[in-house]
Homo-oligomer: A and B are copies of this chain.
Amino acid sequence: MELDLIRRLSQPADTKVILCVLDGLGGMPGPRGRTELEEARTTHLDRLVSDGCVGRTLPVGYGITPGSGPGHMALFGYDPLAFEIGRGALESTGIGFEIGPDDITARGNLCTLDTEGRITDRRAGRLPTEQTRAICEQLQTITLPGVETFVQVVQDQRFILVLRGPGLSDQITETDPQREGVPPIVCSAITPDGDRIAALVREWVTRATAMLAAQERANGVLLRGWSGRPKVPPFPELWKLRAAAVTVYPMYRGVARLVGMDALDGGHDIHEQIAAIRAHWDEYDFFFLHYKYTDSAGEDGDFRRKCDAIEAFDQAVPELVALKPDVLVVTGDHSTPALMAAHSFHPVPVLVWGQNVRRDHLHHFNEVSAREGELGMFPAKEVLPIAFGHAGRLAKFGA
């Protein structure tokens, strides 16, 4: 649905909607010819299917493998091709950094360079967060002419660099070659308006590398995902509701905050996340719950651990149902088949449970049954229009 139409048809209602995103949910048949979802015991999800309906989403487009940003933007109802969010902006927002209108952000990695300046480890041996934090404090002391800089730790060897100043452009090259054995790329402008910031970044990298020369592992920096503050119509205004995100990982909190959701403290696991929803039940109409472990296991190529992650979520489903949401959606932002050990382009199963659901007499939640579901196959950006339609939050179109 186009955003203008959402703005026009959305209406307040006395209903609650929960969107559960099991990251990288979709899979592929593993050793026994069954996908992770088919293999996992999912008693509670299956019960939701019996009372609800299923289908499959296409996150970005046919054959396209989505990153986490676009995958989530689509699930939030935004066309991921129209609203691209740079990795820098995503990471920055994820750690609670408020990106200003004059800011250009990058995602940084501390890395290990050899004596010739070639990268030997893009992640500096996954430097512990606390050591990265100390190094960021050092790097924060670097000053550049005419701009402010911010350097903040994210996790492990990852940090963000923000340049703040009028007229800065994000049209500059990344310095991370995304492979080892070569030196970092020297930052340069992609379009002429990037000339000034490219020079500033080159100076910053030179001084940072000099400052880190004595470090054993973290003696270099890699920067990528240059991006300013994205312009996204705020989710709560579009839908005329109060929206909260309950995540454990910063990046997903980041994308939720970028679209204007409040971020609740999600604690450390799915049970604490659901407890947070319960504690704030009356304050919000919509809750976005992000569950990471399906994707982590998939990325690691660990079929059985992905099944376990699915089962662990399944065990928490009764706690979600006990909240009595009017509409509950369970889906993923993309597929991460353990067989591929990576994000993939495959469609993603989705289930919708709650009021006004046309049941489809299916009883299992997996890629195979989803093919026969009531909801068919549809773009992921239609997940929320479908959910809010069921929840009575979309007015009739036309007389």
Task: Please report A residues at the B interface, Cβ cutoff 8 Å.
Answer: 1-2, 5, 9, 28-29, 33, 35, 56, 60-71, 80-81, 84-87, 90, 225, 337, 340, 343-347, 356, 358-361, 367-368, 371-374, 376-378, 382, 384-390, 394-399
Which B residues lie within 8 Å of A337 (CB)? Answer: 358
Which B residues lie within 8 Å of A33 (CB)? Answer: 359
> A106 CB to closest chain B CB, in angstroms?
12
What are 6 A-B residue pairs whose CB atoms fall within 8 Å in the complex? Answer: A29-B359, A60-B397, A63-B386, A64-B389, A64-B394, A87-B399
A interface, by DSSP: helix, strand, loop or mixed?
A: loop
Which B residues lie within 8 Å of A81 (CB)? Answer: 2, 5
Give A382 to B347 CA distance when docked, in angstroms.
14
Tell me if B385 and A64 are in contact (CB < 8 A).
Answer: yes
With A359-B29, A377-B376 in contact, is A66–B398 under 8 Å at CB? yes
With A61-B1, A376-B56 in contact, is A396–B66 under 8 Å at CB? yes
Tell me if B385 and A63 are in contact (CB < 8 A).
Answer: yes
Which residue in chain B gives the minimum CB-CB distance to A28?
Answer: B358
Tell me if A397 and B358 are in contact (CB < 8 A).
Answer: no
Residue with the highest number of chain B CB atoms closer than 10 Å, among A29, A64, A371, A388: A64
Given contacts A340-B356, A371-B373, A371-B374, list 11 more A-B pairs with CB under 8 A. Answer: A5-B81, A29-B358, A61-B385, A63-B384, A63-B386, A64-B389, A65-B389, A65-B397, A84-B398, A347-B376, A358-B367
Residue with the highest number of chain B CB atoms closer than 10 Å, among A85, A86, A376: A376
Which B residues lie within 8 Å of A60 (CB)? Answer: 397-398
Give A394 to B345 CA distance when docked, in angstroms.
9
Residue of B56, B65, B80, B368 near A394 (CB, 8 A) is: B65
Tell me if B62 and A382 are in contact (CB < 8 A).
Answer: yes
> A75 CB to closest chain B CB, in angstroms?
13
Which residue in chain B gives the minimum CB-CB distance to A1?
Answer: B61
Which B residues lie within 8 Å of A376 (CB)? Answer: 56, 347, 371, 376-377
Tell me if A63 and B382 are in contact (CB < 8 A).
Answer: yes
> A240 CB to closest chain B CB, in angstroms?
15
Give A217 to B388 CA distance when docked, in angstroms.
40
> A205 CB to closest chain B CB, in angstroms?
21
Tell me if A67 and B385 are in contact (CB < 8 A).
Answer: no
With A67-B399, A70-B397, A90-B399 in contact, is A62–B356 under 8 Å at CB? no
Which B residues lie within 8 Å of A35 (CB)? Answer: 358
Which 8 residue pairs spanning A and B have beta carbons closest together?
A: A63-B389, A67-B398, A63-B385, A62-B382, A70-B398, A87-B399, A376-B377, A345-B389
Give A328 to B63 CA distance when docked, in angstroms.
15
Which B residues lie within 8 Å of A345 (CB)? Answer: 386, 389-390, 394
With A358-B28, A374-B371 in contact, is A398–B80 under 8 Å at CB? yes
Which residue in chain B gives the minimum CB-CB distance to A85?
Answer: B398
Tell me if B367 and A64 are in contact (CB < 8 A).
Answer: no
Tell me if B360 and A346 are in contact (CB < 8 A).
Answer: no
Give A294 to B382 CA distance when docked, in angstroms.
28
Which B residues lie within 8 Å of A86 (CB)? Answer: 399
Residue of B340, B356, B396 near A67 (CB, 8 A) is: B396
Residue with the highest number of chain B CB atoms closer than 10 Å, among A60, A63, A386: A63
Give A359 to B356 CA distance when docked, in angstroms.
32
With A66-B396, A225-B399, A390-B63 in contact, is A344–B356 under 8 Å at CB? yes
> A262 CB to closest chain B CB, in angstroms?
23
Which residue in chain B gives the minimum CB-CB distance to A227?
Answer: B399
Give A28 to B60 CA distance when docked, in angstroms.
31
With A87-B399, A399-B90, A399-B225 in contact, is A62–B389 under 8 Å at CB? yes
> A367 CB to closest chain B CB, in angstroms?
7
